[in-house]
Amino acid sequence: MRLHRPLVLATVKALQEIFLNDKPRQADRVIEATLKSNKQWGSRDRAFIAEHTYEIVRNWRLVLFVNEMQADKLRPQFFFQMVGSWLLIKKQLNPEGDNIDFLPKWEEFSFVDEAKTLARLEEALKVRKIRESVPDWLDELGEAELGTEKWTAEITAMNQQAPVVLRANSLKTNQDQLQDLLSDIEIGTIIPDNLPDALILKQRGNIFKTEFFKNGLFEVQDAGSQLIAPFLDVKPGMRVIDACAGAGGKTLHLASLMQNKGRIVAMDVEDYKLTELMKRAKRNGVNNVEVKLIEPKTLKRLQESADRLLLDVPCSGLGVIRRNPDSKWKLTPEFIDNLRKIQWDILSNYSAMLKKGGKMVFATCSLLPSESEAHVQRLLAEQPDKWELLKEQRTSPATDGYDGFYMACLLKK
Ligand SMILES: C[S@@+](CC[C@H](N)C(=O)[O-])C[C@H]1O[C@@H](n2cnc3c(N)ncnc32)[C@H](O)[C@@H]1O
């Protein structure tokens, strides 16, 4: 692979935006804006920028260590060196990959010392938290909750690029038909086992530009996430509450499983997410959803009104770090502590909206039992006459290659 200076420069600038700003910006937003900024870049150019920016964000601690740099003492001019050293590290770690033949003798790379980079890399590979680039506190927390072997496997798998998974919208098409339609426009996909609506892209590409996306034939939704709506066992005609609906990834899936029949009340505390949800519902041909911004009286008004209740609660997102690698650097232990309180609050209070005999799914995209299983166990222990745990499931990058989701289905007695 030959290096093109403008592409390296774009990668450097994106990294500066992510790590140097007073108000750090989310990596995916920065990359999206960077790619939009030059219409002349072809798909390989765009792939180079996105891939290398994400890789360096994922391996941030490793890159800093190899370059003997400190996160709080960074200067704009250091970033070229980081990209140069990352290209050398990448070649060392995966000699069979599409690597640079040699680092060009550009002035900006003059501080990259190949021998030193490789010597520091050898040292880094001996220490998990540096090798896998996780902050100390997170490495300790993960190990304490999951055990050494599982945590090591998960955090290693979390540093790999995640596949792009589509969910065929069964209100408009199906898995096989969508696969054929995409194949006609040279987008190759694979049908995974046991997921009736999912297609995995063989190669990354801008699928949002396709007419099929614009016409609501599919949504992008991880395979693990596609297990959650079916876990709730909805039927056409039911009254369903999706209490933490956000922009509606799972609401849309519920609507298609219900064949657009019955009613879904999609609620959230953030109005702008519900506005986005309605836009997506329109595109998907969904017309059985009503959105509701949660207010102090909402829960009381909706008491015992739902046949099914989905609590897809806010969480640390430790199960989806493959997709949001910068969250490793933005999360704090205090933030996760606060989330645990909110999660328990939602589980213990919102469950009042479910009718007796109804089913509730509590779900997170966290690997941590303290954000997931522990809350369900507490509910069962505190209210044994009221709840029965019907089933529980976990997905994770190390076990099945899906994102890390937890879901529990409970019956209200
Ligand atoms: C995991 S996200 C939901 C993702 C969404 N279900 C989907 O599939 O796209 C959690 C959501 O909970 C919302 N939330 C936070 N606090 C809440 C609360 N107290 N009550 C209800 N929703 C809340 C957040 O705004 C966020 O949209």
Residue 359 banded pLDDT, cuts 50, 70, 90: very high
What is the tens place of the pLDDT at every residue in 325-342?
Answer: 989 988 999 999 999 999
End-to-end Cα, the chain, rounded Å: 62
298 and 402 belong to one structural domain? yes
CATH (domain of 110): 1.10.940
Rounded-to-integer distance, Cα 60 and Cα 43, Å: 25
| Number of domain units in the chain | 3
CA 198–ligand 1 middle distance (angstroms): 23
- CA angle (235, 239, 243) in 5-degree steps: 110
Q: Which amino acid is at 389?
A: L
Confirm whether 365 is domain-assigned: yes
Confirm whether 145 is domain-assigned: no
Q: Which atom of ligand 1 is nearest to the CA of 245?
A: 6
340 and 403 belong to one structural domain? yes
Over range 158-170, report the average pLDDT: 95
Q: Which atom of ligand 1 is nearest to the CA of 273?
A: 27
Whether 99 shows a pLDDT value over 90: the answer reads no
Q: Which atom of ligand 1 is nearest to the CA of 345?
A: 19
Domain that holds residue 172: 165-220
pLDDT of residue 292: 97
Whether the CB-CB separation of 256 and 233 falls below 8 Å is answered with no
Closest residue by CA, ligand 1 atom 18: 269
CA 245–ligand 1 middle distance (angstroms): 6
Whether 65 shows a pLDDT value over 80: the answer reads yes
Whether the CB-CB separation of 89 and 63 falls below 8 Å is answered with yes
pLDDT of residue 1: 79
257 and 404 belong to one structural domain? yes
312 is in an annotated binding site: yes
DSSP state of 371: G
Over range 143-148, report the average pLDDT: 98
Q: Which atom of ligand 1 is nearest to the CA of 246?
A: 27
Rounded-to-integer distance, Cα 250 and Cα 254, Å: 6
Tell me which residues have their CB closer than 6 angstroms to ligand 1. 243-250, 268-270, 273, 294, 312, 314, 342, 346
CA 75–ligand 1 middle distance (angstroms): 37
From residue 397, give the alpha-carbon distance in Å to each of 131, 233, 250, 300, 365.
18, 25, 20, 39, 12
208 and 295 belong to one structural domain? no
Confirm whether 154 is domain-assigned: no
Domain final residue pick, 220, 236, 260: 220
What is the tens place of the pLDDT at every residue in 220-238?
Answer: 999 999 999 999 999 999 9
CA 408–ligand 1 middle distance (angstroms): 17
What is the tens place of the pLDDT at every residue in 122-142?
Answer: 999 999 999 999 999 999 999
Residue 101 banded pLDDT, cuts 50, 70, 90: confident
Domain final residue pick, 220, 252, 267: 220
Rounded-to-integer distance, Cα 326 and Cα 329, Å: 6
pLDDT above 70 covers what percent of the chain?
100
Confirm whether 148 is domain-assigned: no
Residue 102 banded pLDDT, cuts 50, 70, 90: confident
Closest residue by CA, ligand 1 atom 17: 269
315 and 408 belong to one structural domain? yes
Whether 21 shows a pLDDT value over 80: the answer reads no
Whether the CB-CB separation of 280 and 252 falls below 8 Å is answered with yes
Over range 135-164, report the average pLDDT: 96
Whether 206 shows a pLDDT value over 90: the answer reads no
Confirm whether 160 is domain-assigned: no
Mutational pocket test of ligand 1: of 232, 269, 289, the residue with most ligand atoms within 8 Å of the beta carbon: 269
Rounded-to-integer distance, Cα 361 and Cα 273, Å: 21
244 and 295 belong to one structural domain? yes
232 and 378 belong to one structural domain? yes
CATH (domain of 179): 3.30.70.1170
Longest dimension (CA), the chain: 72
Phi and psi of 244, rounded to 5°? -125, 65
403 is in an annotated binding site: no
Residue 365 falls in the annotated catalytic set: yes
Torsion of CA 253, 309, 300, 378, to 10 degrees: -140
Q: Which amino acid is at 147?
A: G
Specify the DSSP element, H or E, that contains 292. Answer: strand 289-293
pLDDT of residue 286: 98
Residue 197 banded pLDDT, cuts 50, 70, 90: very high
CA 13–ligand 1 middle distance (angstroms): 32
- Count of other CB atoms within 10 angstroms of residue 30: 22
